[in-house]
């Protein structure tokens, strides 16, 4: 019989900086390293507690005076396409999906660069060069995929999603697409297609990252039925997105030490034989 200690990662907090979603607020993140032979178990466990992955780091908002960022996921069994979403699927019927290992290409970077320059020129990733882009895609200690969508007509790369495969679903780490085709609603289309992928694979959830009520950039996530948010240590169904507003959230959070103490860590001990 082998005995190993439970996984015990160290958690840290970033320095406060201006919030990219809500004007006049400051953001702060709680984070830990994602590494070692138990990386997948840690990623699964913390993703189910509202954390997100960025390369070899798992993070969750931990702002001192705001809790507007809500980790969101779609319950695949409760999801149903709206009329506008069905039209979005129809408009993109000419796109072909291809899922591969996480390997960055020049074509992906060109599309990524075009997307950033058009949509997020003042964002934190605006200065990312091709080497940093490759690190974002390729530096993953867990099971990840690059999902590419190409036009069947001309073969052009139209949209890309970096997606993690969790034990209970798909996590859309980062997505980008052609910025000059707003009528195609490509961001919505990729989420709809990931719901289809999860359904085909028998996975119950699609993790969308953070929904921020009141933020124009992040508000679109409320348009999907079957939406759940992680709040006060549990996932709850969103009945009416209009009931969630930034000024309705408490202006204080638990101390960092208490937040860390309430994080459940996976048991990595091998089973006895």
**Class level of CATH domain 11-261:** alpha beta
- Give residue-wise pLDDT tens across range 46-87: 999 999 999 999 999 998 888 888 999 999 999 999 999 999
How confident is the model at residue 268, as a pLDDT? 63
Q: Over the stretch 160-219, which tens digit does the pLDDT of each residue have?
A: 999 999 999 999 999 999 998 889 999 999 999 999 999 999 999 999 999 988 777 777
Nearest to 71 by CA among 54, 52, 56, 57: 52
CA torsion 26→30→36→42, rounded to 10°?
-120
Region 41-47 average pLDDT: 95
Q: What is the DSSP letter of 46?
A: H
Question: What is the pLDDT, as a whole number, of residue 28?
Answer: 92
Give the tens place of pLDDT for each residue, 118-153: 776 566 676 789 999 999 999 999 999 999 999 999
Domain boundaries, the chain: 11-261
Radius of gyration for the alpha carbons in the chain, expressed in angstroms and rounded: 19
- State the average pLDDT for the chain: 89
CB atoms within 10 A of CB 239: 8
Q: How confident is the model at residue 23 (pLDDT cuts 50, 70, 90)?
A: confident
8 Å CB contact between 160 and 147: yes
Question: Residues 21, 69: contact at Cβ < 8 Å?
Answer: yes
- The DSSP result for 92-161, as a single string, is TTTEEEEEE-S---HHHHHHHHHHHHHH-TTSTTTT--HHHHHHHHH--SS-EEEEEEEETTT--EEEEE
């Amino acid at each position: 019989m082998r005995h190993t200690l439970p996984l015990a990662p160290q958690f840290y907090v970033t320095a406060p900086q201006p919030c990219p979603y809500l004007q006049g607020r400051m953001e702060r993140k709680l984070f830990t390293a994602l590494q070692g032979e138990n990386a997948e178990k840690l990623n699964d466990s913390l993703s189910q507690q509202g954390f997100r992955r960025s390369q070899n780091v798992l993070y969750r908002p931990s702002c001192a005076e705001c809790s507007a960022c809500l980790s969101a996921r779609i319950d695949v069994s409760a999801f149903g396409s709206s009329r506008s979403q069905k039209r979005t699927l129809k408009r993109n019927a000419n796109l072909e999906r291809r899922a591969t290992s996480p390997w960055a290409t020049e074509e992906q970077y060109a599309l990524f660069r075009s997307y950033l320059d058009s949509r997020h020129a003042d964002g934190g990733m605006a200065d990312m060069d091709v080497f940093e882009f490759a690190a974002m895609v390729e530096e993953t200690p867990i099971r990840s995929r690059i999902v590419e969508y190409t036009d069947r007509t001309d073969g052009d790369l139209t949209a890309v999603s970096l997606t993690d495969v969790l034990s209970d679903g798909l996590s859309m780490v980062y997505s980008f697409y052609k910025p000059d085709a707003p009528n195609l609603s490509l961001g919505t289309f990729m989420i709809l297609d990931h719901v289809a992928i999860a359904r085909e694979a028998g996975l119950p959830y699609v993790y969308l990252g953070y929904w921020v009520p009141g933020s124009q950039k992040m508000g679109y996530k409320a348009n999907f039925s079957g939406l759940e948010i992680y709040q006060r240590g549990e996932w709850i169904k969103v009945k009416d997105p209009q009931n969630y507003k930034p000024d309705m959230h408490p202006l204080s959070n638990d101390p960092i030490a208490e937040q860390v103490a309430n994080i459940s860590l996976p048991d990595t001990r091998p089973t006895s034989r």
